[in-house]
Amino acid sequence: MISKKICMLGSFAVGKTSLVSQYVSSLFSDKYLSTVGVKVDRKSMTIDGLDVTLMLWDLYGEDGFQTVQKSYLRGASGYLLVVDGTRFQTLAAARDLQKMACGVLGSVPFVVALNKADLASEWQVDDRALIAIAEQGWPIIRTSAKTGLGVQESFERLTRAMLEPQ
């Protein structure tokens, strides 16, 4: 049995908790997010015949992120960088968060979840910005916590990347 810790990173209200909820069944109440600043969930899966348990650390997203919760990142094997496709500034915040995570964890795998794909009419992140990101080598997946689009794929892709020998 392989266990891996994954952190959910992203600005406030980008849909981190919704993505986790879409993906797992929770044991703890969401109120931990605002009180302790983190909520831990679990997802067991089988990838390429290997049993993997993902411990999903859903971190409370806010702008002053860096000050408090760096310790929550420790020991993570990867992270999901969540961007709200309807708010452009969340992409910039994601860049900052990626830098911070890189500082704490080193170069561990991560996946950018471009969330709220169901809200096409309010979409702000244009292709040019996406290409810029892709050129950096960041894997991007469009997701919708509402419809479930890309959710499974994001986590699986991240897990595969984490399981690759480094």
What residue ranges bind other proteins (CB under 8 A)?
A: 1-5, 27-28, 32, 36-42, 52-53, 55, 57, 68-69, 71-72, 74-77, 162
Query: What dihedral angle (degrees, nearest 10) is formed by the CA atoms of 7, 9, 13, 16?
Result: -30
Q: Residue 120 has what DSSP assignment? A: G
Of residues 1 and 120, the one with the C-beta less far from other proteins: 1
**Least distance to other proteins, CB of residue 69, Å:** 7
**Least distance to other proteins, CB of residue 48, Å:** 15
> What span, in angstroms and rounded, lies between the C-alpha atoms of 107 and 109?
7
> What span, in angstroms and rounded, lies between the C-alpha atoms of 27 and 41?
7
**Least distance to other proteins, CB of residue 137, Å:** 23
**Least distance to other proteins, CB of residue 163, Å:** 8
Of residues 44 and 89, the one with the C-beta less far from other proteins: 44
Of residues 17 and 77, the one with the C-beta less far from other proteins: 77
Residue 137 in 3-state DSSP?
coil
**Own/partner pairs, 133-138, CB within 8 angstroms, 24+ separation:** 133/91, 138/81, 138/98, 138/110, 138/112
Of residues 76 and 94, the one with the C-beta less far from other proteins: 76
